[in-house]
Structure 1
Amino acid sequence: MPINDSTALKLAPDAGTPAYRTAPHNIEAEQSLLGAILVNNDAFYRVSDFLEPKHFFEPIHQHLFEIAGSLIRMNKIATPVTLKTFVPADTDIGGLTVAQYLARLAAEATTIINAQDYGQTIYDLALRRDLIRIGEDMVNVAYDAPVDFAPRAQIEDAERRLFEIAETGRYDGGFQRFANALTTAVDMAANAYQRDGGLSGLACGLRAMDAKMGGLQPSDLIILAGRPAMGKSSLATNIAYNVARAYRGEVQADGHMKTVDGGVVGFFSLEMSAEQLATRIIAERTGISSSSIRRGGISEADFDKIRDQAIEMQSIPFYIDETGGISIAQLAARARRLKRQKGLDLLIIDYLQLLTGSGKRSDNRVQEITEITTGLKALAKELNVPIIALSQLSRQVEARDDKRPQLADLRESGSIEQDADVVLFVYREEYYLQSKEPRPGTPEHEKWQTEMDLAHGKAEVIIGKQRHGPTGTVNLQFDASVTRFSDLADEQHLPERTY
């Protein structure tokens, strides 16, 4: 039962003072919750997993909730008697002393059954005050911004703060019954069963990789690295298209779209233009080489195939940002915006070393890369989507006889290796053999030709690190003319021989 407005406990301004607009708050809910805690300390545990002292509007209530929480966590009793020793005795609270105020809170307290409802009310009002604060800050900064302060930076900051509120504005955490966890696990298994390939993560469309990794897992930072011409951009593009093409969504009861299979893909193409990326995908899907498409060396039948493929591609949820040289802060803001407006299930960055830090360009590139990789990992957790970031390898690979990449070959490898959940390397033996052709007609040439035949059209994806699974090598087929990776046929998947 809320404390009566006619008592001395009322903290609102006197009737004689001029009316003014105050931030949203509910003093009675705060008093009722504090009273319930003082009467029965179990009430604290009903709100402690989401409610903090800062969520109270009245400073004295913030202080009382913090003291009560500290006492209860130390297995001590929080009562009016124990609390009053931690508040200055001369504190005046609406005309009452501390002892009188605490005694009145306890005397007027309602049952603890309502404690969580009061806590949720206090929490929601605190979120509304946060929204007001963000809005006021936007207005004030826009009025008083210095000349060299870009409006874009203010937009990104506001988006970040709003997204934080949207993602943390909930009070459903804490312990749960094991039966609830079982239900969630069964639902996850059911969703995996319904997905193509039966995976817990997002299927990348390459059977061998999915089998090794269990799909692309939410909140994972996946580094895809390789030397130039190894095909890392092609592999990323293939995965992006496979995921977007498999997309299937269902409208939920609350009106939002839930991804059932495949996913919405965001692709930051910092090196290639959107047109180049589209040409690669068209070549991969039609089997017509990119060079032929660019030169116009195609037949009427080829053009019909390109047209039909383009019509099909227009409907897939594949979004490209071709802005070069953006900062990690700009990238995060645009990713948040895409998730909010269109949805997002997979984010790809091509490539890591073309990003910049959030501030001025640092002379210490290692430190800047650390900021970028830490930011990408935090973004993956924040958006709860897998992020694939492409990365260059250092030239020390070329100095070894065995040119298969290792974790130590990552440029500025410390932070990249540490922050990544999965590290993949793309390696093609064929590329290195091509430059070693001996003189034709010699025994060495015959040996080389045999090695070339074995390596032709094959690629290795080396899993150098995986937090949730094994490392190892995945063998794939690679068609360089159309930049397409596909599963490599093996004896188990070949058709039965007829003799």
Structure 2
Amino acid sequence: MSAPTPLANIDAELSLVGSLLYENKLGEQLAYVSAEYFYDGFLSRVWEASMDLISRGDVADPVSVVEALGEGGEERGILARLVADATPGSAKTHADIVVNAARLRQVAGIADDLRQAARSGADAFNLIANAERDFARLVQEAAPASTNLIDARSSVHMTLDEIDREAVQGRARGAMTGLRCFDRRLRGLRPGWLVVVAGRPSMGKTALARAAAFGCAQRTKHQVVFFALEMARRELDERTLSQMSHMAGDGIAYKDMNGDTLDASDRARLRDLAHKVPTNFIIDDSPILSVDYVRRRVLALKQRGPVAAVFIDYLQIMDRPDAKGRNEASVIGEMTKGLKQLAREAETCVVLLSQINRGVESRDDKRPQLSDLRESGAIEQDANAVLFPYREVYYLERSEPTERGKRAAWEEQCALMHRRMDVLAAKVRQGSVGKDEQVYYAEYDHIEDAPEDGQ
């Protein structure tokens, strides 16, 4: 059986090297050609040495290249013949042939690895996920240079067209949620944005995210996805029904959502409310969640139609990439970078929930700050906006005074702050930081805007 023909064009590689040595000015035009794209090992080393000499402002010719490589007279003669036969006018064509052949070898390599792993009995789901990741990387690397390039004049005209559409529609381009901390502060859930909602436990992160997701699904025809790692689907459903019952005027606490507590009339009322739950509100309660999994699911949903927003609860309990030899910050940074890239790729807004470190608890002022995120990798750097939900009553209730004379004032303060949630916007790209006050009906998992002055 004859060996398979190598995925390479040696004639194109020879001609390309000869052209570069003949005309060093081609180096700038051919900078996209990497030495690793050459199938022939000697030509690969020659290309690398030549480009290195040219980048330093030196001349790359048969003599200087052979000297740089430490080769002998025979190699110098080979390169001299290539220069003599050079056709610089065809350099770009030959470069594209070399690059394309290299891409085909990469594709074949992935296919070979897949075949070998499949025959070894590997897990099919992980095999597909890894293959998709590898091919996605190749797609990004192999995309024509013109794919993401646009001249500045055309770009600003496109932006002005978007502004005109926003003016006609009377709203910002982001998806609305019904909550001031997102709609006014951020101008909605904006495509391409990574919004981080971070805080200590019991601050209402999940409640705020679920309320925003539900409100967004009510206000758009596009899909809104909620990845619920911390809660099972039924828990989310109970909170959704509880919120809707409270909004309808006769609330049923989500803790009472069970057959032993609800009578027939309550169940019938909830059944009626269930018909009003938006069908574009998509829940995924998979117990194992990775960035690759989220990406696959979101891009699959995007094939059905636009995805307005993606909510993930929460970062620290997601499945991690391989952390061998790396610190926590590096691993978390890889995850947030991947989610930011997904937001742009899927033209959606990713709302990522995150815990913050315990340093908050040791301070007199418990309000979180951006510095509380800095030990968690590149969260702050990758995020377009960072929101901190903060409930002062949580700390008030745990600081009951021992002196009897102070108890009345403490009880009054607890009652005053009982339903208050402040959402602290610590970072807003192209916007202003600040605080938005929300009303939090914890027993119904319902959050709404607090009345503003004059209302």
**In the alignment, is residue 186 of structure 1 matched against residue 160 of structure 2?**
yes
- Match of residue 480 from structure 1: 442
The change in CA–CA distance for 1:433 and 1:378 in structure 2 (over 3 A counts) is closer
- Match of residue 164 from structure 1: 137
1:2-21 equivalences under 5 Å are 19-21=2-4
**In the alignment, is residue 67 of structure 1 matched against residue 38 of structure 2?**
no
The change in CA–CA distance for 1:372 and 1:203 in structure 2 (over 3 A counts) is farther
Distance apart, 1:461 and its partner CA: 0.6
Contact 1:221/1:376 (<8 A) preserved: no
The change in CA–CA distance for 1:177 and 1:75 in structure 2 (over 3 A counts) is farther
- Name stretches of at least 5 consecutive residues in structure 2 with no aligned partner: none
1:240-389 equivalences under 5 Å are 240-247=213-220, 264-265=224-225, 267-286=226-245, 287=247, 288-289=251-252, 290-294=254-258, 295-297=261-263, 298-299=265-266, 302-310=269-277, 313-314=278-279, 316=280, 318-323=282-287, 326=288, 331-343=290-302, 346-355=309-318, 357-358=320-321, 369-385=328-344, 386-389=349-352
2-structure distance, mates of 1:204, 1:55: 49
The change in CA–CA distance for 1:84 and 1:389 in structure 2 (over 3 A counts) is same
Deviations 1:33-61 (A, max 9, x none): 4455455545443342x432222333344
SS of the residue 2:295 aligns to: helix
TM-score by length of 1: 0.71
Identity among equivalent pairs (%): 25
2-structure distance, mates of 1:101, 1:21: 27
Distance apart, 1:335 and its partner CA: 1.9
Equivalent pairs, count: 435
1-structure distance, mates of 2:322, 2:139: 26
The change in CA–CA distance for 1:73 and 1:394 in structure 2 (over 3 A counts) is closer
- Match of residue 490 from structure 1: 452
- Match of residue 98 from structure 1: 79
1-structure distance, mates of 2:273, 2:324: 42
SS of the residue 1:139 aligns to: helix
SS of the residue 2:143 aligns to: coil
- Match of residue 6 from structure 1: none
SS of the residue 2:237 aligns to: helix
SS of the residue 1:380 aligns to: helix
Normalized per residue, the structure richer in helix is: 2
Distance apart, 1:394 and its partner CA: 5.5
2-structure distance, mates of 1:360, 1:76: 42
Instruction: Please provide the CA RMSD for this pair.
Output: 4.2
2-structure distance, mates of 1:191, 1:47: 41
2-structure distance, mates of 1:195, 1:377: 32
Contact 1:356/1:372 (<8 A) preserved: no
SS of the residue 1:474 aligns to: strand
TM-score by length of 2: 0.77
Deviations 1:325-367 (A, max 9, x none): x4xxx602212322442236644332333345445899xxxx7
Distance apart, 1:166 and its partner CA: 2.5
Distance apart, 1:164 and its partner CA: 1.3
Distance apart, 1:429 and its partner CA: 3.3
- Name stretches of at least 5 consecutive residues in structure 1 with no aligned partner: 1-17, 249-261, 495-499
2:214 partner amino acid: Y
- Match of residue 8 from structure 1: none
Contact 2:370/2:380 (<8 A) preserved: no
The change in CA–CA distance for 1:137 and 1:398 in structure 2 (over 3 A counts) is closer
- Match of residue 108 from structure 2: 132
2:207 partner amino acid: S
The change in CA–CA distance for 1:219 and 1:34 in structure 2 (over 3 A counts) is farther
1:222-233 equivalences under 5 Å are 222-233=195-206
Contact 2:439/2:448 (<8 A) preserved: yes
SS of the residue 2:39 aligns to: coil
1-structure distance, mates of 2:145, 2:215: 35
2:99 partner amino acid: Y
SS of the residue 1:25 aligns to: coil
Distance apart, 1:424 and its partner CA: 2.3
1:101 partner amino acid: L
2-structure distance, mates of 1:189, 1:75: 46
1-structure distance, mates of 2:211, 2:105: 46
2-structure distance, mates of 1:238, 1:332: 23
2-structure distance, mates of 1:213, 1:456: 26
Pick from 209, 218, 242: which aligns with 1:236? 209
2-structure distance, mates of 1:26, 1:268: 47
